[in-house]
Amino acid sequence: MKEMVKPGEERCPFEFNFDEKTFKPGDMISYRITGSLSEMPFLGILLEVHDDHVILAHDDGNRPPRGPKMRGTRERRPLVQEKDALQ
């Protein structure tokens, strides 16, 4: 993502919600995946917010996203199981 910031710009072109207390459907978030992809950040859109988890989809540029729904933990950067992310 670093290369997406143009010279002279200091801000990332994406605005993420990192406050799990204020999560709401439609928020853009950064999420993580367990296993072999655990070191990479991913961009997602929250579809549902529950007390102990969230339902999200990878941000594919469509609204609503067309990819599979994934269950993630409800924390600053939700964690999704690799098997769910690779459907």
Name residues of the chain where pLDDT drops below 50.
Answer: 1-2, 5
Strand-pair category, 42-49 with 53-58: antiparallel
Task: Tell me what pLDDT residue 7 has.
Answer: 62
Q: Measured between alpha carbons, how far is 16 from 39 in angstroms, rounded to an integer?
A: 18
